[in-house]
Amino acid sequence: MNQFIAPLPDGVDPAWLPSSALRPLGSRRVRVVGDGLLVDTVRGEVAAAAAEHGGELVDEPGTAALDLVRAAGPDAGDEAFTIARAEGTTTVHAAGGAGLLHGFHQVVRLGEGAFAGTWTERFAPRQSVRMLDHWDNVDVHPVMGQVERGYSGGSLFYDDGAVRADLGRVAAYARLLGSIGINRVGLNNVNVHRTEARLLTDLLPDVARLADVFRPQGIRVSLSVGFAAPITLGGLATADPLDPEVRDWWARTTADVYAAIPDFAGYVVKADSEGQPGPFAYGRDHADGANVLARALEPFGGTVFWRAFVYNHRQDWRDRTTDRARAAHDHFAPLDGRFDDNVVVQVKAGPIDFQPREPVSPVIASMPRTRLAVELQVTQEYTGHQKHVCHLVPLWREMLSFRPWGEEGGTVADIAAGRVDAPTGGLVAVSNAGDDPFWTGHPLAQANLYGFGRLAWDDRLTSAEVLDEWIGLTFPDPDAREGLRGLMDDSWRTYEKYTAPLGVGFMVRPGGHYGPDVDGYEYSPWGTYHFADRDGVGVDRTRATGTGFTGQFPAPWRDVYESPETCPDELLLFFHHVPYGHVLHSGSTVVQHIYDTHFDGHDEVVRMAATWAGLEGRVPAPTFDRVTGLLREQLRSATEWRDQVNTYFHRKSGVPDARGRRIY
């Protein structure tokens, strides 16, 4: 059997690739034609499925129900493929090995539908870069643990201060990612600590071992690097990006990386933000910093992903003129056109920090001469720590389909893909996987990992289509599917209802970001405020009287957001400080909306728990038991959110609940 199709360790969940998902393919005669590493991966998959389900891997033309054919010639890395069904045979045809692998997994997703009717369809990725960043530390960090913002156990890659000796489970993880079209993986935390920095130098042979495991699934690896590496690793006196010795050090070090990993993807950098070193220390800007790394990578075809998450995180809460939401645009928009061609500026989808609701970052529409990647967060930092069911694909679908210039312009996904007047960037997300037996801690959080890969491949897929795919692959009992859809489909909006209202954000416990603490950040230097007082709530980000953030958007949104009369309800408190009696477009007042949504959100979690209880016996017992316990915690937390938020605003406003429900 192919070494990359090794059985999972005992007790580890197969996620969306259980044996049952491969039965329609594995029970038939299948022919695999072509050469190359990824074709060998496909051949190994077919052989394993056939051995499990009674099918056969054959060589003779005209004898198979499924032909998987890679065209002869050099593999240019083409990821597109065509599936044609005619005269009793389904044929997957691809120019490259990556395309054949993606075609194989599309057949798995189609199941019996791949072997019915007569049809032809071409499939190609809408984004050329589909990347997962892992915020893993080699050592266990005293504050952030082994995986920063990780809620699924320890690292898949590292144990006891080194890359794991046994990478069998990493191979299984790479197979899951390859099946959804991920083609790049960042292997370490963007906050680069002392040991992780050494992945670039003396620990590089172990990085090469990880690259060897990801490569057969069509995935290239990247490393997060510290901007100060010429000092901390190279012994130089400076990391000034314009210093010739610094340029030479990056060039030599990068050449060593490619000698060990010829298909290395490049670097990920977080600089001059939240204490990370950067070019500002030398009077340089982000373009200067990114370009020195880009020029070291350029001879080898590598790319720098330079994160745009930058802000003054020591601001004075008394100063209403500063605004964390403005920071990325203020820093990066003036630099448009100054980044080298192999620099991708990686922009968080929202301007604050992965909130359950915030506007799309205005940076995405402001740098037409710069490659931009849009960054999402699969790990549930602000959406329940993978203790809460919170299916995030509807949120991402909404943000990716947003049109910054109105109906006449392209979408956020179009900008990332270079389908408008902009160069190609990509989609990136922070992973939610760890060494937990269920991969993502909460078994239902696997749908977020799956969903990111599928949306990155094709942003036209609806959230319902993606969820149905995942449910159909993961849970073979068709009688369980309706209940799972009902439980998960609207769970992001349920979470939004019982947490921070109307886009104001945060209200979470500082540091950990789990559970309610309405004033937890209100007087902190982190710039995430709600400004609630006796008269009203919300942040004035208008041009007329506030921070001017609305002016960073192009028309028509700069004007839509400027007025509380036209601002969408769900973002009202992000952009405006309004009285509690302000009437929303829904017809409710702000304070009554807060009461109603928090009671409703809590009640929806009660219904979710009841729906799950009805699935006993229709889902695997270990999955049922894990989710049952987590739903119990979700209900406890939703109750606490409801009571704390409603009580806070009742005491601030003095306005009673119009429906007379109990508020403390």
Q: Choose among 195, 203, 291, 280: nearest CA to 250.
A: 291
| CA neighbor of 141 nearest in space, from 125, 128, 158, 127 | 158
Judgement on whether residues 465 and 501 belong to the same structural domain of the protein: no
* Last residue of one domain, picked from the residues 85, 108, 123: 123
What is the per-residue pLDDT for 76? 55
Handedness of CA 165, 171, 176, 182 (dihedral sign): positive
Domain with 345, as residue range(s), is 130-474
pLDDT, tens digit (0-9, with 9 covering 90-100), for 117-132? 999 999 999 999 999 9
Interatomic CA distance for residues 182 and 427, integer angstroms:
10
Q: Is residue 557 part of a domain?
A: no
Does residue 62 sit in the same domain as residue 142?
Answer: no
The residue from 123, 144, 162 where one domain ends is 123
Q: Which two tokens stand for residue 603?
A: 């009640």
211 and 249, same domain (yes or no):
yes
Q: Do both 454 and 586 map to the same domain?
A: no
Position 466 pLDDT exceeds 70: yes
The more confidently predicted of residues 115 and 6 is: 115
Tell me: pLDDT of 384 over 60.
yes
Q: What pLDDT was estimated at residue 50?
A: 97
Instruction: Identify whether 487 is part of a domain.
Output: no
Contacts of 257 (CB under 8 A, 6+ apart): 200, 204, 223, 264
Q: Are 103 and 238 found together in one domain?
A: no
Which one, of 41, 56, 45, 39, lies nearest residue 19 by Cα? Answer: 45
Does any domain span residue 553? no
Catalytic one of 245, 274, 341, 519: 274
87: left (phi over 0), alpha (psi -120 to 50) or beta: left
> Is residue 569 domain-resident?
no
The alpha-helical segments, DSSP class H, found in 505-565 are 557-560
At 166-176, the pLDDT tens digits run 999 999 999 99
Taking the C-alpha atoms of residue 273 and residue 347, their distance in angstroms, rounded to an integer, is 13
Residue 443 and residue 504 in one domain: no
pLDDT reported for residue 77: 64
10 domain residue, yes or no: yes
Q: What letter represents residue 599's amino acid? A: F
Would you say residue 556 lies in a domain?
A: no
Residues 339 and 307 in one domain: yes
Is the confidence at residue 490, as pLDDT, over 60? Answer: yes
Question: How far apart are the C-alpha atoms of 629 and 609, rounded to whole Å?
Answer: 10
- Name the average pLDDT for the chain: 96
Q: Is the pLDDT of residue 5 over 80?
A: no
Q: What is the mean pLDDT of residues 434-446?
A: 98
pLDDT digits (tens, 9 = 90+) for 290-301: 999 999 999 999
As for how many domains the chain has, the answer is 3
Tell me: pLDDT of 71 over 90: no
**Given phi > 0 = left and psi -120 to 50 = alpha, else beta, which region is 200?**
alpha
Q: Is 381 a catalytic residue?
A: yes
The pLDDT score that the predictor gives to residue 408 is 86
Residue 313 is predicted with a pLDDT of: 86
Of the residues 83, 99, 123, which one is the last residue of a structural domain? 123
Clarify whether residues 102 and 221 are in a common domain: no
**616: domain CATH number?**
3.90.1330.10
Question: Residue 422 — very low, low, confident or very high, per pLDDT cuts 50/70/90?
Answer: confident
SS3 662: coil
pLDDT (0 to 100) of residue 9:
82
Region 401-425 average pLDDT? 95
Q: Which two tokens stand for residue 10?
A: 């005992």
From 353, 469, 570, 596, the catalytic residue: 353
Q: What is the arithmetic mean of pLDDT over 380-406?
A: 98
In terms of domains, do 111 and 137 share one? Answer: no
Catalytic annotation, pick one of 381, 469, 489, 596 = 381
Confidence (pLDDT) at 25? 96
**HSE-CB of 63 using CA atoms within 13 angstroms:** 10
Output the CA–CA distances (angstroms, integers) from residue 153 to 108, 136, 140, 156, in the order listed: 29, 11, 12, 9
Say yes or no: 60 and 134 in one domain.
Answer: no
Q: Is residue 547 part of a domain?
A: no
Catalytic-residue membership of 616: no
What pLDDT does residue 533 have? 97
Residue 419 predicted with pLDDT over 80: yes
Domain CATH number, residue 89? 3.30.379
Q: Is 353 a catalytic residue?
A: yes
pLDDT recorded at residue 1: 38
> Is it the case that residue 220 has pLDDT exceeding 90?
yes
Pair 362, 319 in one domain: yes
Residues 208 and 302 in one domain: yes
CATH number, position 193 = 3.20.20.80
Q: Provide the token pair at 474.
A: 């993961």
Residue 436 lies inside a defined structural domain of this protein: yes
Q: What is the tens place of the pLDDT at every residue in 586-633?
A: 999 999 999 999 999 999 999 999 999 999 999 999 999 999 999 999
Whole-number pLDDT of residue 73: 66
Task: Tell me the per-residue pLDDT of 332-369, one tens digit each, with 9 for 90 and over.
Answer: 999 999 999 999 999 999 999 999 999 999 999 999 99
* Residue 11 pLDDT grade (very low, low, confident, very high; cuts 50, 70, 90): confident
- Is residue 303 over pLDDT 50? yes
